[in-house]
Structure 1
Amino acid sequence: MSTSPSSLVERARSGKPIGVGIIGLGAQGGWAGRSHLPALRAVPGYEVRALSTSSARSAQRSGHEHGVPRAFGSAAELVACDEVDLVVVAVKVPHHRELVRTALDAGKAVLCEWPLGNGLAEAEELARHAGDRGVRTAVGLQARSHPVLTHARDLVADGYVGEVLSTTVVGSGGAWGATVGPGDHHVLDAANGTTLLTVPFAHALDGLASVLGEPEELTIRLASRRTSAVDTGSGRRVPMTAADQVVASGRLPGGAVATFHYRGGTARGTNFRWEINGTEGDLVLTAPIGHLQLSPITLEGGRGTSTGLAPLAVPESHVRVPRLDPHADAPAYAVAHAYRRLLDDLREGTSGVPDFAHGAARHRSIG
């Protein structure tokens, strides 16, 4: 049974739970287990009713492990389930196109993890296909839904920093450094679409755009300072074709200057720092890792006659998922707020959560 946009809206507005099926929720959890599953269970209005993995046997193990009632050995079986209204695609990027199309062809609403496709061509194809099918879509660019970023956006809009003069982002990617975990070799191969550019940099760019507006004239340069990494399990060297340095610069609406530097690995000093400098004040966002979309974020500011920074508390109005802690539940925190905003979008006709068209545009912005 397909899920039309109108029926999804009706369910959300009536208070009936939206049935969710997660493609890629394995017994070991992985990203789907650390983020989507706890996020969905923390937001009233959703029910995780089904999952699928690569085989019936592994699906049964995963269903038992996570307490999900319906476990399928293929995505085709999951999208055919009448109790699934929203399909979440949370697998490695090279499989996004096939699995998203399977869900779209079944007429189901789809949330696809970021990156939307393995490259711009796939992302644009999926956006067109979703438009042709007329189904509701969302893409996993959740940093913009983090309460710290929504508060920062309000502060800038309300004139806390005055006119924005410049903004600077420095971040570390974690992966793409000197070492790689045994299960993470795929991120080192640029052909797989999971790179320093497409993941931490793109998430940070999207978050920045949500606060300050979309950068214009953005120029991006890549460099490969490392060409291999050491597997932490075997001690063997693994080739790295993905760039480990991303440098970008551009202008914001109104003329402010924007600069970025993302580097692979983890720094002994700053792993994420974002400064917003204006005529009346400054805002500084910091995090222990460079993945803005899954990290606890600290916000500080200073303005007027103040010569330093002070912590800025996030108002309760921005904290829409009180069941989760921003530090203990960091991987799920922004994801949960994105799911909460999706419910708001369905109920109120807004567009706070990026759809596939936005995802394709973000792919274009990073080349």
Structure 2
Amino acid sequence: MDANKKIKVGIIGVTPERGWAGMSHVPALKALPGYEITALSTRNKENIPALKSIVDVPHVYQSVQELVSSPDVDLAVVSVRVPLHAGIIKDAFAAGKNVLSEWPLGKTLQEAEDLSQMAKEKALQGYIMLQSRAVPAIRYVKDYISQGHIGEVLSTSMIGSGIIYGEYILKANDYTADPENGTGMINVTFGNAVDALAYVLGEFTELSATTAIRRKTAKMVETGEEVPVGTADQVAVTGTLQGGAVASIHFRGGMFSGTNFFWEINGTKGDIQISAPGGSLAVFDVTVKASTGKDGAMEPLAIPDEYNLVSGGSLPNIPLNVGQIYQLIQQGTAPTFSDAVIRHRMIAAIQLAAATGTRQRYSLDK
């Protein structure tokens, strides 16, 4: 894609009702001068007038195939349920379109590997919405550490909430309770958070894990009905990172009165603490502290303005951080399907370690 021309974007997954694509991708793209929303797709013909009015877009197609075949689309954004990702992405690649997909890339590691390989074979770009690593504070912390401010990293600990995956479940999210859909807490909330850790500090060289389903059922918010839960609401991982640092991570389903996100990085010269009101760094306000003085006191660490790539106006956290990914695409540094495959491999290794009680490794080959 030519960085000097506006990128024409077609979004698959916008609805007239409040949904993820409408609250994240649409406002993000409207704030970015390098992009233009040119097309949407909907299976419901009755939605077309409302979508044109809400998004002010020239084309609303009734099928994905029409959108990905349109000459007015350079980049197809896939923002639908994970089980639908593979089919839509294959159609987009077959039509010669670059793709930005929501995370997780596929229901399984095999799906993710197949999609990444297809992108390579067709010489197309596949980008992935691992937006936690794109948060300005996280990118700055990575640079801050690489500049030697806390010395050699010795260890790191992260605790987080799954946000959903707790006592209650919305009808719109009921598919996340089925492990066959690849949308459990280990895949979604945990997967995005641990991606930020690996991006900042390096991948695991080996790991051990424990997972558990502590809540066997969840209550449907709308009806009070008890529904079975087949995905883990407890994920605990320990291991060694590249460079030798020891890492410990524990995610729990739901939200808590106590700690919902806290990440500490300990070095030979100082420490860093990253906190948020929930387990998603790309959704909530992130606070960063560092021990910068001789007394070792933790002080707020200001994030330089240049780390926010979305200039002008004031966007809420969700579209602001989604916008970082779009800007990284234009810079040529956005996470790709290859990065998604590595994260899928990590998750598969965690699941195998938990199932077998053995230490596991995963390949970093792209």
Q: TM-score range by the shorter chain?
A: over 0.9
8 Å Cα contact 2:135-2:281 kept in structure 1: no
Q: What fraction of aligned residue pairs are identical, expressed as a percent?
A: 41
Are 2:317 and 1:336 aligned?
Answer: no
Name the CA distance, whole Å, in 2 between partners of 1:22 and 1:189: 26
| Gap regions ≥5 residues in structure 2 | 349-366
Q: What amino acid does structure 1 have at the position aligned with 2:130?
A: L
From 317, 327, 335, the equivalent of 1:354 is 335
Task: For 1:292-311, list aligned pairs within 5 A.
Answer: 292-311=281-300
Deviation (angstroms), 1:63: 2.3
Deviation (angstroms), 1:268: 0.5
Q: What amino acid does structure 2 have at the position aligned with 1:366?
A: I
Q: Counterpart of 1:23? A: 12
Task: For 1:52-71, list aligned pairs within 5 A.
Answer: 52-71=41-60
Q: What SS does the aligned partner of 2:40 have?
A: strand
8 Å Cα contact 1:150-1:318 kept in structure 2: yes
Name the CA distance, whole Å, in 2 between partners of 1:105 and 1:199: 27
Q: Counterpart of 1:204? A: 193
From 242, 248, 252, the equivalent of 1:253 is 242
Q: What amino acid does structure 1 have at the position aligned with 2:223?
A: S
Q: What amino acid does structure 1 have at the position aligned with 2:157?
A: T
8 Å Cα contact 1:56-1:71 kept in structure 2: no
Q: What SS does the aligned partner of 1:284 have?
A: strand
Q: What amino acid does structure 2 have at the position aligned with 1:203?
A: N
Q: What amino acid does structure 2 have at the position aligned with 1:358?
A: D
Q: What SS does the aligned partner of 2:272 have?
A: strand
Are 2:328 and 1:365 aligned?
Answer: no
Q: What SS does the aligned partner of 2:171 have?
A: coil
Name the CA distance, whole Å, in 1 between partners of 2:321 and 2:182: 22
Which deviates more from structure 2 when the two are superposed, residues 207-216 or residues 86-95?
207-216
Deviation (angstroms), 1:323: 3.2
| Counterparts in 2 of 1:284 and 1:172: CA distance versus 1, 3 Å | same
Name the CA distance, whole Å, in 2 between partners of 1:275 and 1:203: 17
Deviation (angstroms), 1:61: 2.5
8 Å Cα contact 1:27-1:63 kept in structure 2: no
TM-score by length of 1: 0.92
Deviation (angstroms), 1:209: 1.3
Q: Counterpart of 2:96? A: 107
From 247, 265, 268, the equivalent of 2:254 is 265
Task: For 1:148-227, list aligned pairs within 5 A.
Answer: 148-227=137-216
Calculate the aligned-residue CA RMSD, in Å.
1.3
8 Å Cα contact 1:220-1:366 kept in structure 2: no
Q: What amino acid does structure 2 have at the position aligned with 1:44?
A: P
Name the CA distance, whole Å, in 2 between partners of 1:292 and 1:221: 23
Q: Counterpart of 2:118? A: 129
8 Å Cα contact 2:29-2:35 kept in structure 1: yes
Deviation (angstroms), 1:55: 2.5
Name the CA distance, whole Å, in 1 between partners of 2:227 and 2:18: 25
Structure 1 segments of 4 or more deviating over 3 A? none
8 Å Cα contact 2:292-2:299 kept in structure 1: no
8 Å Cα contact 2:116-2:337 kept in structure 1: yes
8 Å Cα contact 2:154-2:266 kept in structure 1: yes
8 Å Cα contact 1:93-1:116 kept in structure 2: yes
Q: Counterpart of 1:144? A: 133
Deviation (angstroms), 1:324: 5.4
8 Å Cα contact 1:18-1:46 kept in structure 2: yes
Aligned length in residues: 348
| Gap regions ≥5 residues in structure 1 | 1-7, 346-351
Q: Counterpart of 2:362? A: none
Q: What amino acid does structure 1 have at the position aligned with 2:216?
A: T
Deviation (angstroms), 1:285: 0.5
Name the CA distance, whole Å, in 1 between partners of 2:24 and 2:273: 26
Deviations 1:48-89 (A, max 9, x none): 010012233324422222212210111000011111000000
8 Å Cα contact 1:272-1:289 kept in structure 2: yes
Name the CA distance, whole Å, in 2 between partners of 1:289 and 1:324: 25
Task: For 1:10-49, list aligned pairs within 5 A.
Answer: 11-12=2-3, 15-49=4-38
